[in-house]
Chains A and B, each alone.
Chain A
Amino acid sequence: MKNQILGRQGEQVAADFLLRHGYEICARNFRVPVGEIDIIARQGEVLAFVEVKTRRGTRYGTPAQAVNFHKQKKIVQTARWFLRQKHLEDRCFCRFDVIEVYALPERKWRVHHLAGAFEG
């Protein structure tokens, strides 16, 4: 249960990070039968599908390493679903990002944004 709470907090941190960097949040936790995307954000004409991974340390590998091929495929499928729903297919530039959020002691966070971490 504790991990889930951490994950939610990490997503909030990532969303704030994106807002601070001039992104506009289009959707949070976009969930369809094939999968879920943590944050969908827009900056100019680029739409970023963001997977947020929160960790307390790198003992089990970096957070980004946890976004494996299987997970990537799921995110891509979900993104397709989103584009179709909003009638945006082939009309906007897309990008798949991973945001690593490290939970540091004393409720501090470190955010690492990997823009264009993988492709469909």
Chain B
Amino acid sequence: MFARTFGATTLGVDGLIIDVEVDAAAGLPGFDIVGLADALVKEAKERVRTAIRNSGIQLRQEKVTINLAPADVRKDSSGLDLPIAVGLLAAYGLVSAPTLDKYLFAAELSLEGECRGIRGILPMAVKAKEAGFEAVFVARDNVAEALLVDGLEVYALENLQQLVDFLTGQERLLPAKPASGTAEARAFGDDFADVQGQFQAKRALEIAAAGGHNVLMVGVPGAGKTMLARRLSTILPPLSRDEALEVTKIYSIAGMLRGRGLIEERPFRSPHHTSSMTSLIGGGSVPRPGEVTLAHHGVLFLDELPEFSKKSLEVLREPLDIGWRYTQLSKPPCKESRLTFEAAFSFT
């Protein structure tokens, strides 16, 4: 039988909805995943089958073919485990297929059938909302992140069994509620307010912070360049909700969110001067955000500026000049990176 479910992967800094088509038919038993799946997604085969078996469901061996559409995009999210598992169960007629097109599934499965968090949930949830899905099913670790999208029901899953019970109507699941946290006052470890003296440097940084200018600090070792630079992001205005969402999306894709919800502080990035060009600017065949993108709406601090390789500095010129850069040249998704550059070096 045929079944279709929906999952998602990330592309650049955006999510992309993936149609997971599953067909189980008579013939020699087999299990194939097609549709430009990364090694990570190919391995879903073992995880999904073992997880289903360990959830107490025995599937008869059939000729199973799984297609991930659109076929021309490389899929590199382990979050496709769950839609594949659900699709498989639907193809065997164990869960009813008609309700599935309203839901988006995104979680990795353990061999035991437990759901694990993945990176990139926020952009996927944003895309799911845009595409008109009613609800997303994510692992418990990802709930806070998925809840950042308004008007989308989020279900937290412990394991596959729970989802099967829900889809077959044996158990009810309640959509997760955002934790009603009180707005905390911004507290910084390193605060600009703590700096004593340094009037001229402080004034320069204040002007830069107010106008979003770039700063070059020059001084003898120990003059306080690094100390001041680390504190610059604390006098920048708080992120607006849209800005915070953009920043959170980037950190979600980079896998640096670790269960946190919205990022509300401005990022401060300080790459070491031995950083490679790619780590600064991002990119690669599977595009990953670089330091420039991670400092989006925040501060990129280049300590010991002249120690950076000429090539690295040259690639930073374009984003410095026009304020944004593409994460990938050939594909449409692009990333704006508005940030304040800061550079410091000392005369010795």
A93 touches B62 (CB 8 A): yes
Which of B23-31, B36-44, B324-332 lines the interface with chain A?
B23-31
- Give the interface SS of chain B, mostly helix, strand, loop or mixed: loop
A76 touches B28 (CB 8 A): yes
A91 touches B26 (CB 8 A): yes
A106 at the interface (CB under 8 A from B): no
**Partner pick for B61 among A80, A91, A95, CB 8 A cutoff:** A95
Closest to A119 in B: B29
A120 touches B60 (CB 8 A): no
A93 touches B30 (CB 8 A): no
Q: Contacts of B63 on A, CB cut-off 8 Å?
A: 90
Q: Size band of the A side of the interface?
A: 10 to 19
**Partner pick for B26 among A79, A92, A96, A120, CB 8 A cutoff:** A92
Q: Mark B56-82, 1 if CB is under 8 A from A, else 0.
A: 000011110000000000000000000
A-B contact count (CB 8 A): 36
A119 touches B28 (CB 8 A): yes
Q: Contacts of B27 on A, CB cut-off 8 Å?
A: 89-90, 93-94
Closest to B29 in A: A119
A57 at the interface (CB under 8 A from B): no
- Which of A80, A92, A94, A116 has the most B CB atoms < 10 Å from its CB? A94
A90 touches B29 (CB 8 A): no
Q: Mark A78-120, 1 if CB is under 8 A from B, else 0.
A: 0110010000011111111000000000000000000010011
**Partner pick for A116 among B26, B28, B61, CB 8 A cutoff:** B61
| Extra A-B contacts (16), CB below 8 Å, given A93-B27, A94-B26, A116-B29 | A46-B60, A76-B28, A90-B25, A90-B26, A90-B63, A92-B26, A93-B26, A93-B60, A93-B61, A93-B62, A95-B61, A96-B29, A119-B28, A119-B29, A120-B28, A120-B29
- Give 12 pairs: A residue, B residue, CB < 8 Å, sorted on A: A46-B60, A79-B28, A90-B26, A90-B27, A91-B26, A93-B26, A93-B27, A93-B60, A94-B26, A94-B61, A119-B30, A120-B29
